[in-house]
Amino acid sequence: MIVELMQIPAEAHDEVWLKNALQQAVMLELATLPPYLCGLWSIEDPDQAPDVFAAIQEVVFDEMSHLGLVCNMLTTIGGVPRIADESVVPKYPGPLPGGVRPELSVSLTGLTREALDMYSQIERPDAPAIESGEVHTSIGAFYTEILEAFRSQQGLIKGARQVTRNMSSHGKGNDVLALTSLDDVEAAVKIIKEQGEGTAVSPENPFPGKPGELAHFYCFREIFHGRKLIQVSEDPRRFDFQGDKIPMPRTLPMATVPAGGWDQGRVPVPVEVKELLKEFNRRYTSLLRFLEGAWQADQPSEAAQLLNKSIGQMFQLQETAQQLMRIPLPDGSGKNYGPEFRYIEADG
């Protein structure tokens, strides 16, 4: 558990602590992708809301690169990321891995204001430039502890099994880079923290895909409030949602996936839906296996090939997810099915 790891005194943050912490970070980064993808894929016509679609899409690509960087942090010290394992794959609805934001339950649903509020609470900084409130263990605070452990044990960094990928088309901080020195790790942690939370003095993403792009927390709050975040005062420096309107896009009305999946509901699931869910979960499982294999590969060429296969599965997931999002639930609620993102131990 992340909260338990952070309660261990800093002088005891040894190699075992760091490997455990980084495995928790892998799980945490993985946990953010399914809810964000459900929101993104539920947008019915991206051309009707290009700014909202592009903003959430950029967050998804950021999170994918963060996952890659964390895996490289773990392998550079001789660890092996566990990704394709039912015991570590996030289950929805449920808490974030490791006890981060313990009051928050993360679910899979279409894009709504409630979903946007959930997304922003996932990314909430310790001291946001807007909307202060009660703070629990944040993702940023956890990464600070990880970085301090690297600083105290630089000799652990060996540069083993580093997977790389050029993702600069999505922003200057999005490349998955080899981490072979403390400087490399420092840069990676800075990117992960500031793309998600901004800096202490600004809500802007210091590593944007385009100028003026906000860090994830503020990006989600903008769409939630339906207004652009602008600076309204110089001294003291203050920001507020008083800019141009941001209309909510039309969405496919995906209902919240129940605990244990759609089969746990009181209404029988149609055969067509069962087949689509089976196909989606099989592809999702393959994606995770390809990802895990990439960081176990001995040769860079093999790792790159496995990473490409995982990305290919991602695009195929979207089509199946949107098919599900167009099938109404048989309960007359006006809501539709959606993907479960469940790991399956064996194909069949």
122 in any annotated domain? yes
289 in any annotated domain? no
Rounded to whole angstroms, the Cα distance separating 277 from 96 reads: 23
Adjacent-strand bridge partners of 106 = 94
* Sites in the chain below the pLDDT cut of 50: 348
Q: Is the overall model pTM greater than 0.85, yes or no?
A: yes
Closest CA to 160 of 55, 78, 82, 230: 78
SS3 231: strand
Q: What are phi and psi of 99, to 5 degrees?
A: 85, 10
Q: What is the pLDDT of residue 200?
A: 60
Adjacent-strand bridge partners of 165 = 176
319 in any annotated domain? no
346 in any annotated domain? no
Q: What is the pLDDT of residue 79?
A: 96
246 in any annotated domain? yes
Q: What is the pLDDT of residue 196?
A: 77
Rounded to whole angstroms, the Cα distance separating 107 from 83 reads: 20
Q: How many domains does one find in the chain?
A: 1
Q: What is the pLDDT of residue 346?
A: 66
Which helix (H) or strand (E) segment is 163 a member of? none
Which residue range(s) make up the domain with 111? 2-254
Q: What is the pLDDT of residue 348?
A: 42
327 in any annotated domain? no
144: domain CATH number?
A: 1.20.1260.10
313 in any annotated domain? no
338 in any annotated domain? no
Q: What is the pLDDT of residue 167?
A: 83
